[in-house]
Structure 1
Amino acid sequence: MAGIYIHVPFCYTRCSYCDFYKTTDQQLKSEYIKAVCKEIDLNASFLKHEDIRTIYFGGGTPSTLKLNEVETIIHHLQSYINTRLVKELTMEVNPDDVTEEYIQGLVKMGVNRLSMGIQSFVDVHLRKMNRRHNAQQAKDAIRIAKENGIANMSIDLIYGLPYMSFEEWKSNVQFAIESNVQHISAYHLTFEKGTLYYDYLKKGKLAEIPEQKSIEQFDYLLNELDKAGFINYEISNFAIDGCESQHNSNYWTGVKYLGLGPSAHSFIDNNRRWNVRDTGKYIQALSSDGAYFEEEELTDSDRYNELVMLGLRTSKGIDISSIDNFNPIIRTYFNDELKKQVSHGNVVLNDGFCLVPSTKKMITDRIISDFFYVDND
């Protein structure tokens, strides 16, 4: 089993908080599509011999692509894979790109899941984040998607915004629940270098909210979504039973995936590779048969740290028996750290797995860091 990730780097505007690779140069689209199709051809052997079960268009803003442009990419993939066997085909969309015609066109191509970047249902928040849509457009987009064939939809929310009151956060969570979507991803604002918000932080125009407020917002999210029937299957992801993101779950469980497009990452046979993080350079490299990615073979400590980082973010946790696959030094290190973390109540043991309990989820990153193994050489 394997998945395909397609990075669509194009955005009409730059959101104030986002550090994902993107470009606002729409003139590169046609050459970008040619380059992606060329990259598909170069990976024909992988595509022909793997059981592709998930495809994910991420970005950037994939919904900046016209229907015929999306179709060109999917049709080219069909030269090598049977897309009728794909269980989950996800498209990230921005609310103001959603129309009846656009959703109907995506559904006809096999798209059966949307991930909608809403972030907030409060107009003031959206303007400050430099989002293109407003709250009403977000609400309309959810309705239009449902009415035109999308039965599996995820929406994104952001909490930890310096200018957001607790009452506004409660309102966002409640409207997300009332929207009857099947999946909600909620991320705490982080100030990433290279973003406008990072500059604002350094200049004192914005400040991180106190940790206690972050905990209060996260606890409210956990409790309300639990009451509404959502499963917190990964620290930032909540789903109605059976509607967990299959593609993202594959990342967390070590399933192979091929990344296409500028900045896309791949994981194949213990090798990690990453495409050049520049659309122009990506296009140039593919058009001239040049090198468009770098790669590395993961060491034992790399694989262990990835297992810890991804496993402890999930509700299931780490399968303790999987630690037997590593060298004796790492096994000893893990077992010693496990005893310490259990004694502190930071992880619990459950049916052969170790996991972070709900009361400690806000410090998951710290717990993961403690479990990380660093080579001495």
Structure 2
Amino acid sequence: MAGIYAHIPFCYTRCSYCDFYKTTDQRMKTSFIKSFCKEISQQKDFFNNNFITTLYFGGGTPSVLTIEEWKIIFEELNTSFDLSKLEELTVEVNPDDVSEQYIKGLHQLGVNRVSMGIQSFNDEHLRKMNRRHNSHQAHEAIHILKQSEINNVSIDLIYGLPYMSWDEWTQNIDWAIEADVQHISAYHLTFEKGTPYYELLKKGKLKEIPEEVSSDQFEILVKKLEAAGFENYEISNFAKPGLYSKHNSSYWTGEPYLGLGPSAHSFDGKARRWNIRSLAGYSNKIEKGDCFWEDEILSPLDIYNERIMLGLRTAKGFEYAFIDDLSNKELKRFAEEEIQKQIQLNNLEMIDGWCCVRREKKFITDRIISDLFYVIED
């Protein structure tokens, strides 16, 4: 099993919180598609005949592409890769790009899952985040998708906003439940360097909310969504039974994946590779036949830290046999002692040979992961 992540780096506007690589220069779309298709062709042997089961288009805002532009990309994908065993094909969309005709066009190309960046159903929140849609457009987009042949829909929400009241957050959750979608991703706001929100934080015009408030917002999120039939299968992701994101789940279980487009990452089981974070540089190097990525071979220590990080973010956790099999005696001793310490602190528990974060401690997962990381001091 393998997956492909394709990064479409175009947005019409820049959201105040987002640090993903993107550009608002739509004039570069034609040259990007040309270079992107060349990269697809160049990477056709990446998987060594391992069949592809998931394909995910993220960004940026992939829905800025027209159906005709999508057809060009899919023609190259179908030429270069065997997509006959594809189980899940996801495209991220913005609510105001959604129309009956557009969704029908995506479905005809094979798209069977849509991830929509709603973030909030509150117009004031959307304005402050510099989102280009409003709450009416969000509801209308959900309605269109529910009437379409794409019956696997995910929506994104953001919590931890400095200007969001408790009632506004619970109303957002209620609206999401009422939308009757199959998947909900909810992310805590982070002030990423280089974003407008980060600058406002430095100037004192925005403040991070207290950790206990964040924890309460997360707890009510989990409580309400689980009561509505969602399963919290990864710390930020909730799905109806049997409808977990197959593509994202493959990241957490260490499956190989190919990243296409500027800033996209790849993993072949032994090494990680990342494309340069520049659309102009990416296109120029592809056109010249130059290398447009950097890579690194993962050490046993890298593999340990990644298994801990990725595993503990999921509800299932990681298989403890992984620790038993560690060949580095010092690392094994550290891991065994730290895991036992976290169990004694009631942060971790063992279930059928798997080590996972206790349900009531999910909000501090990142802190637990940090404690389990093995870092060699310089």
Contact 2:5–2:55 (8 Å) recurs in 1? yes
C-alpha RMSD of matched pairs (Å): 1.0
Do residues 334 (structure 1) and 324 (structure 2) align? no
Superposition map of 1:186-205 within 5 A: 186-205=186-205
Q: Which amino acid aligns with 1:132?
A: R
Partner of 2:13: 13
Deviation string 1:108-147 (CA, Å, 9 cap, x unpaired) is: 0000000000000000000000000000000000111121
Structure 2 stretches lacking a partner, 5+ long? none
TM-superposed deviation, 1:47: 4.8
Q: Which amino acid aligns with 1:165?
A: S
Partner of 1:168: 168
Contact 1:89–1:113 (8 Å) recurs in 2? yes
TM-superposed deviation, 1:330: 1.7
Partner of 1:362: 363
Partner of 1:241: 241
Q: Which amino acid aligns with 1:367?
A: I
TM-superposed deviation, 1:36: 1.1
TM-superposed deviation, 1:200: 0.3
Distance 2:174 2:229 in 1: 13
Distance 1:334 1:174 in 2: 41
Partner of 2:141: 141
Contact 1:48–1:80 (8 Å) recurs in 2? no
Distance 2:82 2:147 in 1: 27
Do residues 348 (structure 1) and 349 (structure 2) align? yes
Contact 2:316–2:356 (8 Å) recurs in 1? yes
Superposition map of 1:1-377 within 5 A: 1-47=1-47, 49-326=49-326, 327-376=328-377
Q: Which amino acid aligns with 2:353?
A: G
SS in structure 1 at match of 2:294: strand
Q: Which amino acid aligns with 2:164?
A: M
Contact 1:48–1:81 (8 Å) recurs in 2? no
Deviation string 1:151-176 (CA, Å, 9 cap, x unpaired) is: 00000000000111000001000010
TM-superposed deviation, 1:71: 1.6
Q: Which amino acid aligns with 1:265?
A: H
Identity %: 58
Moved more, 128-137 or 33-42: 33-42
Distance 1:272 1:325 in 2: 23
SS in structure 2 at match of 1:218: helix
Distance 1:248 1:224 in 2: 23
TM-superposed deviation, 1:150: 1.4
Distance 2:169 2:338 in 1: 36
Distance 2:323 2:30 in 1: 46
Distance 2:286 2:323 in 1: 40
How many residues are treated as equivalent by the alignment?
377
Distance 1:338 1:214 in 2: 26
TM-superposed deviation, 1:369: 0.2
Distance 2:325 2:72 in 1: 42
TM-superposed deviation, 1:42: 1.2
Distance 1:216 1:340 in 2: 25
Contact 1:191–1:198 (8 Å) recurs in 2? yes
Distance 2:350 2:198 in 1: 38
Q: Which amino acid aligns with 2:360?
A: T
Distance 1:328 1:108 in 2: 54
Distance 2:146 2:267 in 1: 33
TM-superposed deviation, 1:328: 2.2
Deviation string 1:68-102 (CA, Å, 9 cap, x unpaired) is: 11121111111132323200000000000001110
TM-superposed deviation, 1:196: 0.2
Contact 1:47–1:81 (8 Å) recurs in 2? no
Contact 2:263–2:275 (8 Å) recurs in 1? yes
Distance 1:302 1:10 in 2: 32
Q: Which amino acid aligns with 1:307?
A: R
TM-score (norm 1): 0.98
Moved more, 319-328 or 275-284: 319-328
Distance 2:281 2:325 in 1: 39
Q: Which amino acid aligns with 2:242?
A: G
Deviation string 1:170-208 (CA, Å, 9 cap, x unpaired) is: 100001001100000000101000000000000010001
Deviation string 1:325-345 (CA, Å, 9 cap, x unpaired) is: 432222111101011111111
Distance 1:118 1:105 in 2: 21
